[in-house]
Amino acid sequence: MSKETFEEALAQLEEVVKRLEDESVGLEEALKLFERGVKLARRCRTQLAGVERRVEQLLAEAAEGEEGATAPFAPEEG
Protein backbone atom coordinates (compact mmCIF):
# COMPACT_ATOMS: atom_id res chain seq x y z
CA MET A 1 0.00 0.00 0.00
CA SER A 2 1.40 3.41 -0.92
CA LYS A 3 1.63 6.52 1.21
CA GLU A 4 -1.14 8.13 -0.81
CA THR A 5 -3.40 5.32 0.19
CA PHE A 6 -2.86 6.07 3.87
CA GLU A 7 -3.67 9.72 3.34
CA GLU A 8 -6.65 8.81 1.20
CA ALA A 9 -7.89 6.25 3.68
CA LEU A 10 -7.51 8.72 6.53
CA ALA A 11 -9.29 11.45 4.58
CA GLN A 12 -12.07 9.01 3.72
CA LEU A 13 -12.34 7.93 7.34
CA GLU A 14 -12.73 11.52 8.42
CA GLU A 15 -15.33 12.01 5.71
CA VAL A 16 -17.22 8.96 6.96
CA VAL A 17 -17.20 10.46 10.46
CA LYS A 18 -18.58 13.73 9.12
CA ARG A 19 -21.37 11.89 7.29
CA LEU A 20 -22.19 9.78 10.34
CA GLU A 21 -22.54 12.87 12.46
CA ASP A 22 -25.03 14.25 9.97
CA GLU A 23 -28.43 13.66 11.58
CA SER A 24 -30.19 13.49 8.24
CA VAL A 25 -28.36 10.31 7.28
CA GLY A 26 -30.69 7.34 7.71
CA LEU A 27 -29.98 4.40 9.99
CA GLU A 28 -29.42 2.00 7.12
CA GLU A 29 -26.88 4.26 5.45
CA ALA A 30 -25.32 4.95 8.83
CA LEU A 31 -24.73 1.24 9.31
CA LYS A 32 -23.07 1.04 5.90
CA LEU A 33 -20.91 4.04 6.76
CA PHE A 34 -20.04 2.44 10.06
CA GLU A 35 -18.86 -0.72 8.34
CA ARG A 36 -16.82 1.32 5.90
CA GLY A 37 -15.32 3.44 8.68
CA VAL A 38 -14.22 0.36 10.56
CA LYS A 39 -12.53 -1.00 7.42
CA LEU A 40 -10.79 2.31 6.72
CA ALA A 41 -9.51 2.56 10.28
CA ARG A 42 -8.13 -0.93 10.03
CA ARG A 43 -6.35 -0.06 6.78
CA CYS A 44 -4.81 3.03 8.37
CA ARG A 45 -3.62 1.08 11.39
CA THR A 46 -1.97 -1.49 9.14
CA GLN A 47 -0.13 1.32 7.36
CA LEU A 48 0.96 2.98 10.58
CA ALA A 49 2.61 -0.24 11.65
CA GLY A 50 3.93 -0.96 8.18
CA VAL A 51 7.65 -0.47 8.81
CA GLU A 52 9.87 -2.69 10.88
CA ARG A 53 11.98 -1.04 13.57
CA ARG A 54 15.62 -0.80 12.36
CA VAL A 55 18.63 1.49 12.86
CA GLU A 56 21.48 1.09 10.38
CA GLN A 57 24.43 3.08 9.21
CA LEU A 58 25.72 3.28 5.70
CA LEU A 59 29.14 1.73 5.26
CA ALA A 60 29.56 2.30 1.56
CA GLU A 61 27.62 4.26 -0.96
CA ALA A 62 25.64 2.40 -3.53
CA ALA A 63 26.43 2.56 -7.19
CA GLU A 64 23.62 3.22 -9.64
CA GLY A 65 20.99 0.52 -9.25
CA GLU A 66 22.71 -1.18 -6.32
CA GLU A 67 22.19 -1.13 -2.62
CA GLY A 68 24.75 0.48 -0.35
CA ALA A 69 26.37 -1.66 2.32
CA THR A 70 24.85 -1.07 5.76
CA ALA A 71 25.37 -2.34 9.29
CA PRO A 72 23.23 -2.09 12.41
CA PHE A 73 24.00 1.06 14.33
CA ALA A 74 23.87 1.84 18.03
CA PRO A 75 25.27 5.11 19.38
CA GLU A 76 28.09 5.01 21.92
CA GLU A 77 27.05 5.64 25.48
CA GLY A 78 28.10 8.90 27.01
Partner 1 sequence: MSARVFGVGELVREVNAALAGTFGEVWVKGELSGVKVAGSGHRYFQLKDAEGTLSCAMWAARADRLRYKLADGVAVLLRGTLEVYPQRGSLQIIVIEVRPEGKGELQLAFEQMKAKLEAEGLFAAARKRPLPALPQRLGLVTSSSGAAVRDVLKVLSRWEHLSVLLYPVRVQGKGAEGEIARAVRYLGRYGEVDVVLLVRGGGSLEDLWAFNEEIVARAIATCSVPVISGVGHETDFTIADFVADVRAATPTQAAEIVVQRLEEQERRVEDGAAAVHLSIERRLERARLRLHALEGSRGLARLEQRLKELNLRLPRTESLRQRLRSLVGSRHRRLEGASAALFHWPVRFGAPRRRELVTVRVAVAVERLRSLVRRRGLELGARERALEALSPWRVLERGYSITAREGTADTPIKDAAGVAPGERVVTTLARGALYSLVTGRAGEQGELFETRGSSAEQTNEAGRTPKPEPRGPGRQGREP
Residue 67's φ and ψ, nearest 5 degrees, are: -100, 135
How far apart are the C-alpha atoms of 71 and 52, rounded to whole Å? 16
Per-residue x/- mask for partner 1, residues 17 to 36, rule CB under 8 A? Answer: x--xx-----x--xx-xx--
61: left (phi over 0), alpha (psi -120 to 50) or beta: beta
51 touches partner 1 (CB under 8 A): yes
Give residues in contact with partner 1 (CB under 8 A): 3, 6-7, 10, 13-14, 16-17, 20-21, 27, 30-31, 33-34, 37-38, 40-41, 44-45, 47-58, 61-62, 67-68, 70, 73, 75-76, 78
